[in-house]
Structure 1
């Protein structure tokens, strides 16, 4: 979930809860105040009754006015508890039951104690409470919606530099020439973040360039001693009087030097591919290149008794022929190297991608590791860079290279 959405959600929930609590308190506060006003009216009526009895020594005439009822009845006890009560009474005019507020008191007339019930309707007060509450609630809701919209617009504008920086970080690639640029913002925190990210990207790029130069220089420097070693071995093997044991040792050294040569070439090639030093502007037909690659491996197929199945459609893509040959060569070499004697390899090509399936180990490989540099399965004699090269070529061209295992077959899929 995005930060802005998270903030808005929390803000709306907090506002809703606060509105509910505030509305509850507000409603009962207004109700308490208006009920107090009704009680004051009842006290006024009580005072008038007491004044009338004091002057006339008799009860006032019982009457019923709109919203007010006064009743007198002889008290059944020696004293009457004076209290305010909430009651319901039926309004004969409106033909409905209404809520009312009552005052129970007493008055003594000529030695006789009378209970006095003064009842006032609360309908108007409750209607007024509801009206005030609805108006206030409507204003609060309207203000909340307006503030939420304003906050959404303002916060999006405030956070725009952050999202711009995030976009630049996503596009940042050590092998590309695009740098993280300075953003124009008045927010101090975003300024500091932008400066630190720019400095960090510069340090990372500098370290990468130094490492790249080291690999390139090391690979180039290795070419001379390797060539000297091969020359010395050629001279040594032509020497007369070598024993069988010495010949075997020289052969082992030859194989080791050959392996070192392949590793050195692979490292140089990987450096070129990563730095996009190969022209990728031509349109290439895959089918003839794939058929040529299969023909080059024909001797290896025969030596290992492999059966080859081809199902190639006419597909063309934009990439250099050299990169395509390297990609196919490494995938085929992997399929041969890790295959069983008498196994098979099936190659399928269509507009969606290239699929190479081969028999081999009955257990699946680890997808998270097979494309890493120098990763090799047990017993492998490769350099550990073949699939890394293939993966880098696919990444440079926006392709996907995925590994799968099904039906005791190892499946490598290049998605165009």
Structure 2
């Protein structure tokens, strides 16, 4: 939930609960004062009963007064008064009404009587309801106006902050476009915006320096490595070497070859990370996979590996160089980590590409195999093949999964994001 929405919901909830509590307390206070007023009227009415009950006659209130006085003969009188609420039938209005009563004992015409005076509360209750409506309705309207004004003010304050978040999301160090500054109405937000402007500039500057260093270092390393490989190749072809010298030169040749592959892989990762391979075209994957199968056929035959292909027509739009690297890495990985007389299965349809192969190891750690320089102890690779695979899929918005199914290491690439 967004901060703005959460704040508004809490404010509305507190206001609503506060209105209910205040309204209830206000209503109860009015009822309390109503009862006090009615009790006072009942006392006056009881006084009139005592004063005007003479000559064997009992006092009787006027019909329009909504009062009822009842007399009950008792043996003796006690000095007490009881007040309470009751429900009585009003004979004038012919309906049941809520009322307040007073029960007391007194002597009338020289005889003890218990009198019950009942006063209707209907009119007073209607007055209370009207008072509550007159007071609470404007309060509710005022509350609604305050909430609307508060919402508009907060929206005006927080809209630039939302734009700030959007600019942070859109910022990309690979693009030349700098981070966009936002005009902020609040001092704290202006300070945050300035910090982000300074931080983005420093990050972009540092990134450009690292990028330039990586590219230059990779390119500069290619030339001496090529010279070393060439000289080692010439020395290995010489007839003047004994067995020991030949083994040493072969080890050096393998080491420099691995270093060359590592340098090429790092340079490719730099290009992928910097999004330098953006050109896209229509690619017939089935045709490309058949070409790559022929390309790796010799390596497959040398190790007596069984190749099973199930290729359906599939055309994607992507960078051809990246897709070729992706397929090369899948084939190389499936062959390098396989064993003699192993098996490779390749499945292709319009939605996904699947490479499955047997291998010396059981299930690998799916959370780590795509990390750079991660490899098992038996591997002689650079540890960047699967990392390049992951980066290519991420750049092309493909989903890459690893599973160990039926004793097969299975890599699934789903083309649709």
Q: State the TM bucket, normalised to the shorter chain.
A: 0.7 to 0.9
> How many equivalent pairs are there?
414
How far 1:117 moved relative to its partner? 2.8
Instruction: Determine if contact 1:340/1:359 at 8 Å carries over to the other structure.
Output: yes
The answer to which of 205-214 and 41-50 deviates more is: 41-50
Q: Aligned-residue CA RMSD in angstroms? A: 3.0
Cα displacement string for residues 223-266 of structure 1 (whole angstroms, at most 9, x for unaligned residues): 24323433443454456654323322221111111100100111
- Counting only pairs closer than 5 Å after superposition, residues 9-408 of structure 1 correspond to structure 2 as 9-49=9-49, 52=52, 60-63=58-61, 65-66=63-64, 67-74=66-73, 76-108=75-107, 112-133=111-132, 144=143, 147-148=146-147, 150-234=149-233, 236-237=235-236, 242-360=241-359, 363-408=362-407
Unaligned runs of 5+ in 2: none
Larger mean CA deviation between 300-309 and 38-47 belongs to 38-47
Instruction: Return 254-263 or 405-414, whichever deviates more.
Output: 405-414
Mean Cα deviation higher: 274-283 or 366-375 = 274-283
Cα pair 1:345 1:359 within 8 Å, conserved: yes
Gaps of 5+ in 1: none
C-alpha distance 37-318 of structure 1, shift in aligned 2 (>3 A): same
Q: Which moved more, 1:158-167 or 1:147-156?
A: 147-156
Inter-partner Cα distance in structure 1 for 2:258 and 2:375: 14
**TM-score after normalising by structure 1:** 0.87
Q: Is the 8 A contact 1:280 1:318 kept in 2?
A: no
Instruction: Verify the 8 A CA contact 2:50 2:108 in the aligned structure 1.
Output: no
How far has the Cα of 1:267 moved from its partner? 1.0
What does the per-residue CA deviation read over 1:267-288, in whole Å, with 9 as the maximum and x for residues that have no partner? 1121122223235143333232
Matched position secondary structure for 1:221 = helix
Kindly indicate whether the alpha-carbon contact (under 8 Å) linking 1:286 and 1:314 is maintained by their aligned counterparts in 2.
yes
Structure 1 pair 157/351, CA: closer, same or farther in 2 (3 Å)? farther
CA gap of 1:400–1:128, structure 2 versus 1, over 3 A, is same
Maintained 8 Å contact 1:362/1:408: no
1:81 Cα deviation from its structure 2 partner: 0.7
Distance in 2 (CA, whole Å) between partners of 1:127 and 1:279 is: 79
Change in 2 beyond 3 A, CA 1:171/1:355: farther
Cα distance in 2 for residues equivalent to 1:296 and 1:96: 103
Equivalent-residue separation in structure 2 for 1:347 and 1:289 (angstroms)? 13
